[in-house]
Amino acid sequence: MTADRVNPVTRTPYGAVRGRWEQGVAVFRGIPYAAPPFGPRRFRPPTPPEPWDGVREAAAFGPTAPKPPYSEAFAQYLSDPAVPGDDCLNLNVWTPDPAPGARLPVLVWLHGGALTRGSSAVPVYDGRTFARDGVVFVSVNYRLGVEGYGLFPDAPANPGLRDQLAALHWVHESIGAFGGDPDRVTLGGQSAGAISTGALVAAPQARGLVRRAVLQSGPPETTDRDKVRRMVRRMANRLKVPATAEAFAAVDRDQLLRVQADIGRLGSPILGGPAFGIVTDGDLVPRDPLEALTDGAAPGVELLTGWTRDEYRLWLVPGGLVERVDRLGAVALAGAMARCRCGSEVPRGYRALRPDAGTAELVGQLVTDHLLRVPLHRLADGRRDPSYVYEFAWPSRRPGMGACHALELGFVFDSGDEPDARKLAGEGAPQDLADAMHGAWVRFVTDGSPGWERWDTHHPVQVYGDGDPHVEHGPRDRELALWTTPAPEAPAPATPPELRSVVRRLRRVGALRRD
Each residue's pLDDT tens digit, 412-439 = 999 988 888 899 999 999 999 999 999 9
**Parallel, antiparallel or unpaired: strands 55-57 and 15-18:** parallel
pLDDT for the residue numbered 489: 42
Cα–Cα dist 328/380, whole Å: 36
Within a domain: residue 2? no
Q: Which residues of 130-169 are buried (b: 16+ CB within 10 A; e: fewer)?
A: bbbbbbbbbbbbbbbbbbbbbbbeebebbbbbbbbbbbbb
For residues 477 and 458, the answer to whether their CB atoms sit within 8 Å is: no
Nearest by Cα to 372 from 421, 328, 405, 333: 405
Within a domain: residue 515? no
Q: What percent of the chain has pLDDT over 90?
A: 80
Nearest by Cα to 373 from 475, 232, 491, 500: 475
Alpha-helical regions (H) of 222-278: 225-239, 245-249, 253-264
Within a domain: residue 514? no
- Does the pLDDT of residue 504 top 80, yes or no? no
| Enclosing domain of residue 475 | 9-509
pLDDT for the residue numbered 271: 61
**What value does the mean pLDDT take over residues 51-56?**
97
Within a domain: residue 391? yes
Within a domain: residue 264? yes
pLDDT for the residue numbered 501: 53
Q: What percent of the chain has pLDDT over 70?
A: 91
Under the banding of pLDDT at 50, 70 and 90, the label for residue 464 is: very high
Under the banding of pLDDT at 50, 70 and 90, the label for residue 270 is: low
- Does the pLDDT of residue 510 top 60, yes or no? no
For residues 380 and 389, the answer to whether their CB atoms sit within 8 Å is: yes
- Count how many domains the chain has: 1
Annotated catalytic residues are: 191, 311, 405
pLDDT for the residue numbered 417: 86
Under the banding of pLDDT at 50, 70 and 90, the label for residue 480 is: very high
Q: Which residues of 435-447 are buried (b: 16+ CB within 10 A; e: fewer)?
A: ebbbebbbebbbe
Between 371 and 327, residue with greater pLDDT: 371
Q: What CATH number has the domain bearing residue 199? A: 3.40.50.1820
> What are the φ and ψ backbone dihedral angles of 31, each rounded to 5 degrees?
-80, 125
Nearest by Cα to 199 from 101, 120, 304, 278: 278
pLDDT for the residue numbered 322: 84
Within a domain: residue 174? yes
Q: How many CA atoms lie within 13 A of 350 on its CB side?
A: 25
Cα–Cα dist 487/345, whole Å: 9
Between 233 and 337, residue with greater pLDDT: 233
DSSP 2: B
User: What's the predicted TM-score (pTM) here?
Assistant: 0.93
The side-by-side arrangement of strands in the sheet containing 302-308 is: 20-22, 25-32, 90-95, 136-140, 104-110, 180-190, 212-216, 302-308, 387-392, 460-464, 470-473
Task: Dump pLDDT digits (tens) for 187-212.
Answer: 999 999 999 999 999 999 999 999 99
Under the banding of pLDDT at 50, 70 and 90, the label for residue 508 is: very low
DSSP 41: G
Cα–Cα dist 470/2, whole Å: 45
Task: Dump pLDDT digits (tens) for 143-186.
Answer: 999 999 999 999 999 999 999 999 999 999 999 999 999 999 99
Within a domain: residue 450? yes
pLDDT for the residue numbered 170: 98
Within a domain: residue 86? yes
